[in-house]
Amino acid sequence: MADGFDAILIGAGINTLAAALHLSARGWRVGVFERAAEPGGAVKSGEYTLPGFRHDWAAMNLSLFAGSPFFKQYGEELARHGCAFAPADRPFASSFPDGSWLGVSTHAGETEAAITRASPRDAEAWAALAQRFPTEAPTLFGLLGSPMKIRALAYFMFKTLRAKGLAGSADMARFLVSSPRQWLEATFEHPQVRALLGAWGMHLDFAPDIAGGAVFPYLEGMAGQAFGMVIGKGGADTAVQALVAAIRARGGVVECGLPVTRILRDGARASGVELADGRRLVARRAVIAGVAPRVLPALAGPIAPAFDRAMTDFVHAPGTMMIHLALDGPPDWRAGKALQSYAYVHIAPSLDQMARTYQQAKAGLLPDEPILVVGQPCTVDPGRAPEGKQTLWIQLRMVPGEIRGDAAGRIAATDWTDAAEPMAERALAILEAHAPGLGGRILGRRIVSPEDLEADNPNLVGGDQICGSHHLAQNFLFRPARGHADGATPLAGLWLTGAAVWPGAGTGAGAGYLLARRLAGG
C-alpha cells in the first residue's frame, strides 16, 4: 500500500473541495477522488440543451459561497484561478395566477413600493424588518455558522442572552422553532406577500407548516434586499473549477472518474482507501467522506451499531426535478416585462398550495400543481446564451423520489423513465399560463428527473438536492445525528462532510470549512 497523502477526501463536492484547499494551505498533502467524470457534484454547468447554451445542472445561486467565511479567506486566491461572479440586484420575485407579481430588489424603495401595491400595512412591516436586520443578522448568521458542539452552542446562548436580555432571547428562541406559516401570518396580512417569502422554505424542505422553518424565508427576504444575489459568471462551476485549480497549484491531487470502493482500516482507525482501479492509498491523518450518510457504513464496514443505524436511518427530503430550456428570447411574462429582470421567479401561489404540494410529494404522489423555481441566469449573465437568446433553469419543488401515484389522476406511470415527460409537460403548462407563448419559443430542452439526479450523484438520494431533511429532529446538534454534527465518527481518522453535516445544504461550504479548521487550525 503506497504512501502519499495526509488526507484523502472522497467526492469532489463543494464541501470536500473547500476542506481540501484549507488543509493544503495548512501544509497537508491532499488527494480528492471523485466517481463522476467531473468535479462539483450538484454544482456543475454544461451545454445540456444546445451548443452555445450554458446551463447549471442543479445549483445556480452562489450567494452563500460568495458571502461565506471560507470565501472571505480564499476569495483572492480563487479569483486568480478564474472564479468570478455575476451579481443580481433583483434576486427574486413571485408571479401569481391573477397576473400580478411581487419582487425583492436591492434598489431603495423598490421592494416597499411593490409590497405597498398589495398592502400598505405589509410595506410598513417589511420596512421595520429591514431596519432591524443589521442588528438581528449577526446573531442568526453567528448561529448558522457556528460549530455545533454543546460548548459552542452554550457560548452562543450566553452571548445572545447578554445582547438581547431574557425577553429578547426568548423571542429569538420562539422564532427559531416557528414554522414559516406561523411567522408569516403573524407578520404580514396579504397572502401574496406571505407566498413571496414562503416559497423560500420549499428550497430547504420547510413547507409552510414545518416547525423550525421561519428563519429561512426571513433571511432570504432580508438578505435579498440587503445584498442581492450572485450567480457564477459563465456557470456555477466557476467556483468548482477554481477550487480544483487552487488545490492542484498547492500540490494536491484531484482525480475524477475514479470511485472509492472501500475505506481501509488499520485496527480501530481509518488508514486509507481502495480505488476502483485497484490502488490502495494511505491517509496518514484523515479520511474525509463527502457522501450521503447511508453510504458511509457500506464504504467503511460496520463502525458502531448506534452510529451505523443513525446513518442508515438518516431521512432525506422529497425529490426535485430539473427542466433546462434553450429559448429564442426571454419569457413574455403575463405580469409584465419587469419580471424579466429577476434572477429567480417563483410560481408558488399560496402557502396552502405549497403545503398541499409538499404533502403530495411526501406521500409519493406526483403533485397536481408543483411549485416552480424559474431561474433566468441570462438576465444577470448574458454570455450564457447566444446573443438575443436565453436559458431557463426550472426546478420543481417538490416531487417524490419513488412514485406511488399521481395526485391529478392523469399520469399512470410509476417510474421516472415514463413519468418524467408528462410531469415536465404539467410544469411547462403552469409556466405557459404565467408566460404565454413560451412553448413556441423553446429551441431545446433537457429534463432531469430525480432518478437522473441520483444516478449522476448518489448523494442526491431520490433527487433530494439538499442531502437530507433539515427538520428540527435532524438539524443543529442532530445533523446528521447527535454527537456527530462536527463530522466525527466513532472510527478514528474517519470524518463525514457535505450537506448532510451541520450547517447543512447550500453552496456555503460550511461543513467542509469547519471540519478542515478543526483538523488543521486556521
CATH number reported for the structural domain that contains residue 8 in this entry: 3.50.50.60
- pLDDT score, position 152: 65
Residues 186, 286, single domain; the answer is no
- pLDDT score, position 160: 72
The alpha carbons of the chain give a radius of gyration, in whole angstroms, of 22
pTM: 0.95
- pLDDT score, position 3: 57
Higher pLDDT among residues 349 and 135, named by residue: 349
For 155-177, the pLDDT digits (tens) are 667 667 777 788 877 877 888 99
pLDDT cut 90: percent of the chain above it: 90
For 240-272, the pLDDT digits (tens) are 999 999 999 999 999 999 999 999 999 999 999
Q: Please give the mean pLDDT across all residues of the chain.
A: 95
For 278-335, the pLDDT digits (tens) are 999 999 999 999 999 999 999 999 999 999 999 999 999 999 999 999 999 999 999 9
Residues 117, 220, single domain; the answer is yes
Give the 3-state secondary structure of residue 399.
Answer: strand
- Residue 290 forms part of a structural domain: yes
Residues 209, 272, single domain; the answer is no
- Residue 154 forms part of a structural domain: yes
- Residue 133 forms part of a structural domain: yes
CA distance 7 to 22: 12
- The cell for 494 is 474517519
Residues 261, 223, single domain; the answer is no
- Residue 139 forms part of a structural domain: yes
Residue 300's domain comprises 2-35+257-314+468-520
pLDDT cut 70: percent of the chain above it: 98
- Residue 79 forms part of a structural domain: no
Domain stop point among 227, 242, 266: 227
CA distance 431 to 71: 36
Q: How far is CA 203 from the centre of its chain?
A: 7
CA distance 101 to 94: 6
CA distance 304 to 338: 56
Contact (Cβ atoms closer than 8 angstroms) between residue 272 and residue 43: no
- pLDDT score, position 57: 98
- Residue 62 forms part of a structural domain: no
Residues 137, 186, single domain; the answer is yes
Residues 223, 111, single domain; the answer is yes
Contact (Cβ atoms closer than 8 angstroms) between residue 43 and residue 236: yes
Residues 143, 221, single domain; the answer is yes
- pLDDT score, position 143: 77
- pLDDT score, position 154: 67
Average pLDDT over residues 361-386: 98
Residue 498, CA distances (Å) to 19, 46, 275 in order = 10, 23, 20
Give 237-248 as a DSSP string: HHHHHHHHHHHH
Task: Indicate whether 485 pLDDT > 70.
Answer: yes
Domain stop point among 207, 227, 247: 227
Contact (Cβ atoms closer than 8 angstroms) between residue 411 and residue 374: no
Residues 30, 111, single domain; the answer is no
Average pLDDT over residues 440-464: 97
- pLDDT score, position 149: 73
Residues 156, 223, single domain; the answer is yes
Residues 141, 190, single domain; the answer is yes
Residues 275, 215, single domain; the answer is no
- pLDDT score, position 166: 80
For 44-79, the pLDDT digits (tens) are 999 999 999 999 999 999 999 999 999 999 999 999
Number of domains in the chain: 2
Residues 217, 266, single domain; the answer is no
Per DSSP, helices labelled H in 394-509 are 416-434, 450-456
Task: Indicate whether 133 pLDDT > 80.
Answer: yes
- Residue 131 forms part of a structural domain: yes
Domain stop point among 227, 248, 268: 227
- The cell for 450 is 430525480
- Residue 235 forms part of a structural domain: no
Q: pLDDT band at 1, cuts 50/70/90?
A: very low
Query: 153-167, 352-366, 411-425, 506-520 — which is least confidently predicted?
Result: 153-167
